[in-house]
Amino acid sequence: MLIRLQKLIAGSGLASRRKAEEMIAAGHVTVNGRVVRELGTRVDPERDHVKVNGRHLQAAQPYAYLILNKPRNVMSTLDDPGGRPTVKQLLPGVSVRVFPVGRLDFDSEGLMLLTNHGDLAQALLHPRNHVPKTYLIKVKGVLTDEEIKPLERGVKLEDGVTSPATVKKVRKAAQNSWLEITIHEGRKHQVKRMLESVGHPVLKLMRVRFGPLTLGDLAPGEYRYLTDREANALRELVRDRAARGVRLEASKPKTSSRSSRLTPHPSRVSTRRSAC
């Protein structure tokens, strides 16, 4: 069976799909001894010899899903050219190579999902899927209802109008206040820019929910593997949304064959490669 080169590389756990594309474009990948830079290239994993940086791809690793409570002043990437601490250093004992799903700012904290399931990660981050992300934020000053309304409707930022958000007041003090805001996009510094636009800079930001996942009482710097229920909920979320997208585009009812592929998932790792 032919599959796209970047999918094969991502499926081996070596890199995320995006990183795999970068490696292909940069000429680090050979197929049967020839450098391939075409992202659309299809290969047969049974017959073709694929090497990345001169080394054969290893067999696909089992899937692993975990959440980490990223502390402030830690990069949400696996490495940092500037030498700052990264989330990688917070994953002792995780032998499977996992990648962060999305980013949090250096000075933000809270829930980060990490996995080696490239397709799932890509689907969770795809703007079309509108996966909700909830942040607990401390802002300068106290927002009036009139200032909250534009955030809920959508505010104009330099990269376009934001989609509707949900904002709840949590607590207020004399100089500042706490809010909970749920957005369905993942633009760079989005929450900070939204609050800045209504004149209330963010002083602290913590992600407390990502789709069906909640941070709970996981301490800063700690991680845990997802439960079966959580991993299944993630897969169902993207499956449902993809199916809804298909229905909207093609005006067709959802087919039942996809849901019949949903299999229970061991909590830590799974050797199954279910499509999502």
Catalytically active residues are 105
SS3 at position 122 = helix
Sign of CA dihedral 118, 128, 255, 259: positive
- Residues in the interface with ligand URA (CB under 6 A) total 8
Closer residue to ligand URA (CB): 180 or 240? 180
Instruction: Out of 50, 67, 101, 104, name the contact with ligand URA by CB under 6 A.
Output: 104
Q: Which residue has the tokens 């607590």?
A: 171
* CB neighbour list of residue 95: distance below 8 Å, 6 or more residues apart: none
Instruction: Out of 22, 80, 105, 196, name the contact with ligand URA by CB under 6 A.
Output: 105
Vertex 238 angle, CA 232 and 243, to 5°:
120
Instruction: Out of 111, 205, 206, 215, name the contact with ligand URA by CB under 6 A.
Output: 205
Q: Applying CB under 6 A, which part among 19-27, 77-85, 100-108, 236-244 lies near ligand URA?
A: 100-108
Residue 209 binding ligand URA, by CB under 6 A? no
Minimum distance of ligand URA from residue 211's CB (angstroms): 15
- The partner residues of 160 in beta bridges, in order of sequence, read 157
Closer residue to ligand URA (CB): 102 or 141? 102
Closer residue to ligand URA (CB): 15 or 111? 111
Distance between CA atoms of residues 222 and 9, nearest Å = 29
Tell me which amino acid residue 130 is.
H
- Of 123, 117, 101, give the one whose Cα is nearest residue 246: 123
Minimum distance of ligand URA from residue 50's CB (angstroms): 35
Distance between CA atoms of residues 138 and 105, nearest Å = 15
Please check whether residue 186 is in contact with residue 102, taking contact to mean a CB–CB distance below 8 angstroms: yes
Mark residues 108-147: x for contact with ligand URA by CB under 6 A, - for none. Answer: x---------------------------------------
Mark residues 180-199: x for contact with ligand URA by CB under 6 A, - for none. Answer: ---------xxxx-------
Closer residue to ligand URA (CB): 108 or 270? 108
- Of 104, 124, 109, 140, give the one whose Cα is nearest residue 235: 124
Is 58 exposed, middle or buried, given 0-12, 13-18 or 19+ CB atoms closer than 10 A? exposed
Site for ligand URA in 39-58 (CB under 6 A): none
Q: Applying CB under 6 A, which part among 10-18, 23-31, 102-110, 230-238 lies near ligand URA?
A: 102-110
- In the 8-state DSSP scheme, what is residue 268? S
Closer residue to ligand URA (CB): 192 or 265? 192
| Residue ranges that bind ligand URA, judged by CB under 6 A | 104-105, 108, 189-192, 205
